[in-house]
Amino acid sequence: MQKYMMKLHENILLLWIFIVHEVSTDQHLVDYIAEHVTVKVHVVDNTALIDGYVQEYVSLSNTGSMDISNGDWKIYHNSLYGKRDEELHCGLRNHHALGGLYYLTPNGDKFKTFKAGETLVCIIHNRYSLAARSDYMPNWYVTSNDAEPKTVVSTMGEGINYVEDFDSYLRWKHGKTDQYKPYSPEERYDMYKMYDSPKYNPYKIVPTPWSVTSNRRVVMTFNIEEWMIVYSDAFKFESTYLADILGIAIHTSRASNKYIQFVKTNDSNLGPESYNLNIDAALENIEILANENPGAFYGVQTLVSLIEGCNGEMIAMNIMDKPRFLYRGIMIDTARNFKPVKWILKMIDAMSMYKLNKLHFHLTDDEGWRIQIPSIPELTEIGSKRCHSEIDGVCLPPQLGSGPHNTTLGTGFYSVDEYKTILKYADDRHVEVIPEIETPGHSSAAITAMNYRESKISRLESIGEQNLPPSYLLEMSMERNMTSSPLKWPRNAIDPCLNTSYKFISKVLDALIDIHKDVQPLKTVHVGGDEVPDGAWDESQACKENDIHLSTKQQQKSFMKQVADIASSKGLDIGVWDDGVYAEDKPDSKEDYKSENVYVYPWDTRGDKIKHTAEFADAGYKVVLSLATYLYFGHTQGPDPEERGLYWATRYTDTQKVFGLMPDDLYANVLEDNVGNTIDINTFCDGKICPILENPGNIIGLEASMFSENMRTEEEFYYMGFPRIVAMAEKSWHKASWEDINDVIERNKERDIQWKEFSDNLGFKELSRLDKRNISYRLPPPGVRLEENVLKVNTKYPNLLIEASNDIGKSWETYTESKIQAGSYSYLLRTKSRTGDIYSRSVEFKFAVSSSMTSSWSWSTSLIILTVISLLNLL
Ligand SMILES: *[C@@H]1O[C@H](CO)[C@@H](O)[C@H](O)[C@H]1NC(C)=O
Ligand SMILES: *[C@@H]1O[C@H](CO)[C@@H](O)[C@H](O)[C@H]1NC(C)=O
Ligand SMILES: *[C@@H]1O[C@H](CO)[C@@H](O)[C@H](O)[C@H]1NC(C)=O
Ligand SMILES: *[C@@H]1O[C@H](CO)[C@@H](O)[C@H](O)[C@H]1NC(C)=O
Ligand SMILES: *[C@@H]1O[C@H](CO)[C@@H](O)[C@H](O)[C@H]1NC(C)=O
């Protein structure tokens, strides 16, 4: 017996040594590749499609001293639009895992040892242009069997420095017909000329009030020591909020003759969001009159803006104000990249500053499920996490550069309490939260979580458990051949033929109603409806069993109808993306959907889809303009490969373009296609004139969409939002006088004058107000030009600093124009906020000054590089 035990121990020891040895070999390999294999990529030519794909060179260099032999190692990487699952000439294979996740791995015998010092050059095929650095994702990672995955060092961080410079038009063009090219520093300098001689109007308010009268000759000083606020019982929150923001004393009665007081009115001319702000500079008191709390709150915001701008010197003013649109919203996507509670609260504060009142909260998508549903715990147990796992039921696969671990913003959710914190914060500030649960498409996270729940139920069943938890199975297709599927997410559409799909939706809506009820009762739920891939349910077992053979569009229509039934039976209105209720070549009948109000969010305005907006309004839907061409703030703010953002709907959308939106004249906004080619609207809708909007009253507002594929960090999130959101708020609160001018040339002239006032105000006032609240934003890079031996610089917005570096960004100094000595120079230049640590990206400017003659050139425009140092400053 003793001897036998000895033997057993020995064997276990041997086995243990064997396992440890094996694991450590794999781990050693993973660690080695992560550290010593460096990645470099560049697109070959965005203007030439090969079999419909854009080719990209991926070079892997083995920079260490170890040869890498054939084996089970894999190098994972993410793609925004998808790549081809294919054998590569370099001896590797590029496999599609799921969604945007791919991995490179030795291709059987075709792989020869990857020797120390060697570089493998592979050509990969992309489904879309790669014309911007932010199209590429960071945090590639390596695995081998069950070794701990490691991030490839050369791909870490937000700099995306593994992508080579965009130094030719082949790399920065979005297709052959792209009309844009990046602006050179000189071109910027010339464009910014129109911003010369800025004017500061300290009493300008954004968004512009409906009516302002002022008398600059009646002036009073305003300082927080001498003034007080009279607490208002009717406007409890508003009066204390004002005291907090200004840091001013609040008393229950008038304790000084310099006071701000609230008056609750019952004036049938004032709507719930209207107010009257009266600044009596002679008597030295201020009154905010409103019928209801939202009005008082907006009066407070106007007053705060005036006080922050006026530098202690206030003039007599009377402001009567009311909004242009009832719906002034921001959609925040927390699924692609999670947004912690404190970012959301900060965004609500920013929304409040600019009188925005709807937070459309995109809580679910393929890449994540972000709200706790206590009755269905798997949704967050699995659906809120992204990590690399070899076993099911742990997390969703890494996406969008979230890397192998569950510690990034690929992972996260709002607990019921956290969500209530957001709700309360929003409700106090008169922001309605509209949660979005994406159905039936964009549901991979929920489907994965419910498949896992199903497997748990089956296990319980197999051991004879009687009380089985309810099933919420959402998808039950035949196994699909992933290799042959062109879809990024081959199984991401909730199955309309499964009864459990509807039980799931009902359960989730119950939970949302319950969470909202004590804080801000739920009125509207957004149920998604967009982008169901054609053929999504062709393999559905449930549809086969129930003998349902409808087109994808018809299936979806029947699904949306049932979802609307469920929602309306619970007293809810629904919101849907436009393609969710457009099954045929016209909007579905509004009567098909039982909810009293159906809010439609037209987003896809490419091609003649622009006409959908008018069609929906005329079919009785309430329309919230979410036009991807103007209001998708995941899109880039300039036609430059170094500018963060997407460009599928439009080549770029900057603040100026948002300011130019004309919500009442939909077709006037259609000027060019997504690569800048002019569009003739008269022949645009199937070659005919587009349908005229008969029911403008059904256009109820605007919404900026913050789809967050490329917003991993807080700075990236705010960089994409601001100052575009300020312009969007302006459009949704105020109808500009220029919008009503019929003559296009006159209209544009007047628009440009008003834009100039708006942008002067951004530079003098609003950006500092954002700085004060620690909200980042984008600053445009400076314009630069050498003129008569002086390096002339300018900025788009006034009141900013310019910094220069002559040591490739190691050190920076504030730049002031002066004569430059003879010599040749290489400068980096960037714009900086005067009141905060916000910088533009830097631009390179190389020039030479000779004693006899002046010459100037900037290296190819595409040499505008983002240096590591300026990045560190931006991030
Ligand atoms: C407000 O005025 C209306 C008539 O204009 C009146 O019926 C109503 O009672 C008033 N409400 C309050 C609270 O005074
Ligand atoms: C994250 O992963 C680690 C192991 O890799 C695990 O121990 C931890 O529980 C996970 N955290 C969450 C929130 O799932
Ligand atoms: C999957 O599709 C690919 C490409 O069409 C094909 O080569 C492969 O044989 C298929 N695999 C299976 C299991 O059907
Ligand atoms: C689904 O519901 C329908 C109608 O209520 C019923 O006829 C059918 O049997 C149900 N199917 C399953 C699989 O429970
Ligand atoms: C400002 O925000 C940044 C992140 O964007 C954060 O790191 C910093 O601590 C904040 N500063 C203050 C004063 O809140």
- pLDDT per position as a tens digit, 429-440: 999 999 999 999
Rounded-to-integer distance, Cα 241 and Cα 233, Å: 13
Looking from the CA of residue 407, the nearest atom of ligand 2 is: 1
pLDDT in tens, 337-354: 999 999 999 999 999 999
Classify residue 182: in a domain, yes or no. no
**Do residues 237 and 166 share a domain?**
no
Q: What is the mean pLDDT of residues 257-263?
A: 96
Among all ligands shown, which has an atom nearest to the Cα of 562? Answer: 4
Classify residue 478: in a domain, yes or no. no
Rounded-to-integer distance, Cα 398 and Cα 409, Å: 11
Report the pLDDT value the prediction gives residue 10, as an integer from 0 to 100.
Answer: 54
Classify residue 748: in a domain, yes or no. no
Q: What is the mean pLDDT of residues 543-572?
A: 96
Count CB atoms within 10 A of the CB of residue 598: 29
Residue nearest to atom 14 of ligand 5 (CA): 774
**Do residues 295 and 377 share a domain?**
no
Give 483 Cα–ligand 3 centroid separation in angstroms: 6
Classify residue 224: in a domain, yes or no. yes
CA atoms within a 13 Å half-sphere pointing along the CA-CB vector of 853 = 2
Residue 242's domain spans which residues? Answer: 211-321
Report the pLDDT value the prediction gives residue 867, as an integer from 0 to 100.
Answer: 33
Among all ligands shown, which has an atom nearest to the Cα of 269? Answer: 1
Report the pLDDT value the prediction gives residue 261, as an integer from 0 to 100.
Answer: 97
Among all ligands shown, which has an atom nearest to the Cα of 773? Answer: 5
Report the pLDDT value the prediction gives residue 1, as an integer from 0 to 100.
Answer: 45
Looking from the CA of residue 714, the nearest atom of ligand 5 is: 5
Question: How would you classify the pairing of strands 598-601 and 573-577?
Answer: parallel
Q: What is the mean pLDDT of residues 573-597?
A: 94
Q: Is the C-beta atom of 712 inside 6 A of ligand 2?
A: no
Single out the residue in 321, 351, 379 at which a domain terminates: 321
CATH of the domain at 280: 3.30.379.10
**Do residues 105 and 151 share a domain?**
yes
Q: Does residue 22 carry a catalytic annotation?
A: no
Looking from the CA of residue 481, the nearest atom of ligand 3 is: 1
Give 267 Cα–ligand 1 centroid separation in angstroms: 8
- pLDDT higher than 90, residue 490: no
**Do residues 312 and 343 share a domain?**
no
Classify residue 751: in a domain, yes or no. no
Give 718 Cα–ligand 2 centroid separation in angstroms: 29
**Do residues 143 and 257 share a domain?**
no
**Do residues 304 and 339 share a domain?**
no
Report the pLDDT value the prediction gives residue 466, as an integer from 0 to 100.
Answer: 94
Place of tokens 């961080």: 157
Q: What is the mean pLDDT of residues 583-606?
A: 93
Q: What six digits make up the tokens of 632?
A: 């998708």
Q: Is the C-beta atom of 479 inside 6 A of ligand 3?
A: no
pLDDT in tens, 718-767: 999 999 999 999 999 999 999 999 999 999 999 999 999 999 999 999 99
Report the pLDDT value the prediction gives residue 481, as an integer from 0 to 100.
Answer: 62
Residue nearest to atom 3 of ligand 3 (CA): 484
CATH of the domain at 675: 3.20.20.80
Looking from the CA of residue 268, the nearest atom of ligand 1 is: 5
Classify residue 870: in a domain, yes or no. no
Report the pLDDT value the prediction gives residue 645, as an integer from 0 to 100.
Answer: 98
Where is average pLDDT lowest: 22-26, 501-505, 570-574? 22-26
Among all ligands shown, which has an atom nearest to the Cα of 482? Answer: 3
Q: Which of 308, 531, 672, 715 is catalytic?
A: 531
Q: Is the C-beta atom of 388 inside 6 A of ligand 2?
A: no
List Cβ neighbours of 7 (8 Å cut-off, separation of 6 or more): none
**Do residues 296 and 438 share a domain?**
no
CATH of the domain at 62: 2.60.40.290
pLDDT bracket for residue 682 (50, 70, 90): confident
Sequence letter at residue 633: F
- pLDDT higher than 60, residue 872: no
Q: Is the C-beta atom of 406 inside 6 A of ligand 2?
A: yes
pLDDT bracket for residue 866 (50, 70, 90): very low
Single out the residue in 718, 743, 761 at which a domain terminates: 718
Q: Determine the 3-state secondary structure of 815 from DSSP.
A: coil
Judge whether 86 and 93 are in contact, CB under 8 Å: yes
pLDDT bracket for residue 11 (50, 70, 90): low
User: How much of the chain is in helix, strand and coil states, percent to nearest 5?
Assistant: 30, 25, 45
Classify residue 858: in a domain, yes or no. no
Classify residue 845: in a domain, yes or no. no
Judge whether 167 and 103 are in contact, CB under 8 Å: no
Q: What is the mean pLDDT of residues 770-784?
A: 97
Looking from the CA of residue 482, the nearest atom of ligand 3 is: 1
Cis check for the bond before 440: say yes or no (omega within 30 of 0).
Answer: yes
pTM reported for the whole predicted model = 0.93
- pLDDT higher than 70, residue 88: yes
Report the pLDDT value the prediction gives residue 856, as an integer from 0 to 100.
Answer: 44
Q: Which of 387, 394, 396, 415 to mutate to test the pocket of ligand 2 (most atoms within 8 A of CB)?
A: 387
**Do residues 149 and 226 share a domain?**
no
Rounded-to-integer distance, Cα 54 and Cα 319, Å: 56
pLDDT in tens, 35-60: 999 999 999 999 998 888 999 999 99
Q: What is the mean pLDDT of residues 835-851?
A: 94
Q: What is the mean pLDDT of residues 191-199?
A: 93
Q: What six digits make up the tokens of 336?
A: 């692609």
pLDDT in tens, 369-409: 999 999 999 999 999 999 999 998 999 999 999 999 999 99
pLDDT bracket for residue 539 (50, 70, 90): confident
Give 474 Cα–ligand 4 centroid separation in angstroms: 14
Report the pLDDT value the prediction gives residue 855, as an integer from 0 to 100.
Answer: 42
Give 588 Cα–ligand 4 centroid separation in angstroms: 26
**Do residues 293 and 360 share a domain?**
no
**Do residues 266 and 353 share a domain?**
no
Question: How would you classify the pairing of strands 150-151 and 141-144?
Answer: antiparallel
Single out the residue in 150, 172, 194 at which a domain terminates: 172
**Do residues 583 and 676 share a domain?**
yes
Report the pLDDT value the prediction gives residue 834, as an integer from 0 to 100.
Answer: 96
Give percent of the chain above pLDDT 70. Answer: 94
Ligand 1 site, CB within 6 A:
266, 268
**Do residues 134 and 44 share a domain?**
yes
Ligand 5 site, CB within 6 A:
714-715, 774
Give 73 Cα–ligand 2 centroid separation in angstroms: 23
> How many domains in the chain?
3
